[in-house]
Amino acid sequence: MSFLKEIQRRRTFGIISHPDAGKTTLTEKLLLFGGAIQEAGAVKNNKIKKGATSDFMEIERQRGISVSTSVLAFNYKGKKINILDTPGHKDFAEDTFRTLTAVDSVIVVIDVAKGVEEQTEKLVSVCRMRHIPIIVFINKLDREGKDAFDLMDEVEQKLGLNVTPLSFPIGMGYDFQGIYNIWEQNINLFSGDSRKNIEDTIAFSDIESPELEKIIGEKPAVKLRDELELISEVYPAFDRDEYLAGNLQPVFFGSALNNFGVRELLDCFVEIAPAPRAKESETRLVKPEEEKMAGFVFKIHANMDPKHRDRLAFVKIVSGTFERNKPYMHVRLNKNLKFSSPNAFFAEKKEIVDISYPGDIVGLHDTGNFKIGDTLTEGEIMSFKGIPSFSPEHFRYINNADPLKSKQLDKGIRQLMDEGVAQLFIQQPGSRKIVGTVGQLQFEVINYRLEHEYGASCRFMPKNYYKACWITSDNEEQLTSFKRAKTNYLALDKDDNLVFLAETPFLLTMAEQDYPDIRFHKTSEFKLD
């Protein structure tokens, strides 16, 4: 198959939403339809013993939440689909925001009962800013929830989207009978049997036909006709160019747990979703059909396989082909690296691939060469823009609980920090270690992973800082006087950059006023400013 055809086959998308809306369950069902797994797992279900494929870390299984983004790939109808299942919880939002730099389109999942929630608003605003095409999937239709039109109004108002329904529910909650697929013009009846993998659909192009009453009953039939008439008058017709430009968002209804409405979503997605898109670098726009390879690291995962202590850097291929054992230039380090075993993913299962195309996500074994945001090219000096970094909001001291395991603790902390989920500050003088994160839950995850993956145990002691600011200055004299005055509030990050830990907003403002020649940077990406 030619290079251009391979690019056209690729569909890379992320699934985003508020916690508990059903992202991971939807991912499972998409894998099931794609024939990638034989039995769909569930996040929390007493009857289903199998856990979700994408939640493969032990802590994810225990808590029933996704802690890190997982990558899954499968083939469906001649297309190669790469799914990135992201964590919904706001304490892990960093991971999700970075993942959004690596996808070409997204599916937003909304819970029928809760409607649009705060975390969804944040994530969608990032997608809109980047003009990423969005499909909305309204989940859990078999439960009592809000009216379909009210939900679509809410999506329009709160998320600022312009929606058009491509499927529509027949009844809701207890009265839920099925879905009318506007896109394909057929009816899919709901049996309530989740073990059935694929529901039978009834082709139905003429909605006025009296056959409709026979299938779903008189009242629902009248109601459905009225609703479909209202849809055609109120909502715009679907236009693919508008969708690709990020101005129009198709809406699907369904119930992921009961395998319902998922096939409609997948079939339509495969047809309309964008192939790999061009990406902006600092120097130029990089197009996927270019011959020379370019890609960037958007995530690092330590201990993918606890037996081997391996670290994987996730690289999104933007242009050209990535080949095994071929040297590529690491732009930040300015040296060539070869990769003997690049991996393609299926959650925690990996297989070695000889060649990867634009849109694919490749896992490279990392011995400490990579950081998030690094670029690989075939010699061209460039780096990709828009990989976010966050300023920590919660700070804690690390106390070693087992002095005999200090080596393991040190190694574990450093490796977990490289993932980009938290930041390490070493206080000067005294070398006390402080960890800064965006959310409280991160500390629990770090603690759990230190204990179970590295055999080290530690206690976190709260420390009240307001902000960590990275400091640079051209005025040496002023910098020296600042260091002398603020000795107790200074620390080094893991790359030995100087950081000022301000206890209150007032102290930070005072420091900025007293030392006008010192620049206070809120994120560690100040080198790119």
pLDDT (0 to 100) of residue 195:
46
Task: Say what percent of the chain tops pLDDT 70.
Answer: 81
pTM as predicted: 0.78
* Structure confidence at residue 193 as a pLDDT band (50, 70, 90): low
Strand-pair category, 349-352 with 134-139: unpaired
Question: Whose CA is closest to 256, among 123, 125, 143?
Answer: 143
Q: What is the rounded average pLDDT for all residues in the chain?
A: 78
Asked whether residue 514 carries a pLDDT value surpassing 50, the answer given is: yes
Based on the number of CB atoms within 10 Å of its own CB, is 90 exposed (0-12), middle (13-18) or buried (19 or more)? middle
CATH architecture, range 394-528: 2-Layer Sandwich (3.30)
Asked whether residue 37 carries a pLDDT value surpassing 70, the answer given is: no
Residues 350-375 have a mean pLDDT of 84
Positions of E strands within 132-276: 134-139, 163-165, 167-170, 178-181, 186-189, 201-203, 249-253
Under CATH, to which class is 3-169+236-272 assigned? alpha beta
pLDDT tens sequence across 212-228: 777 777 777 788 788 88
Q: Domain boundaries in the chain?
A: 3-169+236-272, 279-377, 394-528
Handedness of CA 439, 387, 157, 263 (dihedral sign): negative
Rounded to whole angstroms, how far apart are CA atoms 71 and 84?
A: 5
Rounded to whole angstroms, how far apart are CA atoms 407 and 368?
A: 17
Between 106 and 33, the higher pLDDT residue: 106
What would the CATH number be for the domain defined by 279-377?
2.40.30.10
pLDDT tens sequence across 303-342: 666 665 667 888 889 988 989 889 998 888 888 888 888 8
pLDDT tens sequence across 277-306: 888 888 888 888 888 989 998 888 776 666
> Coil, strand or helix: which one is 8?
helix
Q: Crossing angle for the helix pair 441-454 and 406-418, nearest 10 degrees?
A: 130
Could you tell me if 448 and 441 are in contact, meaning their C-beta atoms sit under 8 angstroms apart? no
Rounded to whole angstroms, how far apart are CA atoms 295 and 317?
A: 4
DSSP characters over 493-527: ETT--EEEEESSHHHHHHHHHH-TTEEEESSGGGG
pLDDT (0 to 100) of residue 513:
87
Between 41 and 20, the higher pLDDT residue: 20
**356 alpha carbon, distance to own chain's centre:** 21
**What DSSP state is assigned to residue 174?**
G
Asked whether residue 529 carries a pLDDT value surpassing 60, the answer given is: no
Question: Whose CA is closest to 375, among 449, 309, 319?
Answer: 319
Residues 249-268 have a mean pLDDT of 83
Between 350 and 425, the higher pLDDT residue: 425
pLDDT tens sequence across 439-493: 777 788 788 778 877 788 888 888 888 888 888 888 888 888 888 888 888 888 8
Residues 489-516 have a mean pLDDT of 85
Q: Count of CB atoms within 10 A of residue 312's CB?
A: 22
Asked whether residue 408 carries a pLDDT value surpassing 70, the answer given is: yes
Asked whether residue 48 carries a pLDDT value surpassing 60, the answer given is: no
> Coil, strand or helix: which one is 10?
strand
